A and B are shown apart, each in its own frame.
Chain A
Amino acid sequence: MCDTCGCNMTHGNQHLLAPGGKLHKTGQGNEAVTVLKNLLSENDHIAVHNRQHFDRHGVLALNLMSSPGSGKTSLLEATIGSLGNRYRIAVIEGDLETENDAERIRRCGVEAIQITTGTACHLDAHMVHDALHRLNLDDIDILFIENVGNLVCPAGFDLGQHSNITLLSVTEGDDKPAKYPVMFRVAELVALTKVDLLPLLDDFDPERARENIRTLANAAPVLETSARQPETLQTWLQWLEDEIQQHRTHCENAETA
């Protein structure tokens, strides 16, 4: 589609594009080619391809990221419990090892594809592409992609998702957005999870966590959830329903265009 598209172009570096991919001589007489290409452009192109697959089948794809143990699988279990009878849900599970999470999801009556990454600390668009061809996308409304538990690496790899969801459990500390800005800056929704534990913790302030996210110039909604208290999930479920509606409209418009 685009060989030197500079998928990550920002206003600040657009001027660098000018020389194009032409050869010129350096001071030492070597030949040099000036390129301006995202190092992950191959991944990004597969991500674009994945997104086209999703859109063609009207699937909303959501990428869940957090530290290990922040409650991604638990939130998915609770979500399937609440929305499973109205929407067709499927899950791609990324983990270093084991099928445990996929089995937990299957016990909820939902299809789950496990990707074991071995030593890779993140999912990439290739892995998701392989997994999505094992699913029947026509039978899916929402596809959750549970990324490998890691607050650093997954943020760098576009998978073709429509939104990034980052979880921060209250036991991790409200300063984590400031310590992991790369991850929290790109979140389209942040869930502060395990809020049932807040009464036991004297140093997690949801308001401070929210402020730390705003300080990253991120206006994403910051919700407070507990997989143990279904009544806390209302805003999350409503957000999901709104996303599905918007995505359907988007896909229909794209089809008629």
Chain B
Amino acid sequence: MHELSVCQALISQVEELAQREMVQRVERVRVGIGPLSGVEPQLLQHAYPLAAAGTLAENSELEIENRPIRVHCPTCGKTSDANASRLLCAHCGDWQTTLVSGDELMLLQVEFIRETDNV
């Protein structure tokens, strides 16, 4: 259920931006989500219209970019793909890796429509 609170946080950031840019309507919102953020993209997608209703983002499209899990291995110096429950180095098998990407929960881009009849 915390996807709804994440979505509400997202919408409030989007609205803040829309107000700053003085636009009337949000067309598309792009976020980047890694599996280790703890947020389920599908649940976020479902929660989005609910959170957007009645805001400047109403009827906008949520585009989710799934970020890959990548780890860096200080032992062999290489970077590799990994999965959420196995963050080992794919090259030498060492477990003491550091996460390079995969825990993101990021607002990437907001697209607006500006009504142009007055400038």
Contact = CB atoms under 8 A, between A and B. Distances in A.
Given A119-B1, A156-B39, A36 B85 contact: no
B86 A215 contact: yes
Contacts of A6: 106
Interface string A95-119: 0000000000000000000000001
Given A37-B106, A185-B87, A30 B2 contact: no
Interface residues of A, number: 45
A37 B12 CA distance: 12
A178 B111 contact: no
A83 interface: no
A57 B38 CA distance: 32
Interface residues of B, number: 48
A167 B27 CA distance: 44
Interface in A1-59: 6, 8, 10-13, 16, 23, 26, 30-43
A12 B36 contact: no
Interface of B: 1-2, 5-6, 9-10, 12-13, 17, 21, 23, 27-28, 31-32, 36-39, 67, 70-72, 84-88, 95-114
Interface of A: 6, 8, 10-13, 16, 23, 26, 30-43, 119-122, 124, 152-153, 155-157, 177-179, 181-183, 185, 214-217, 219
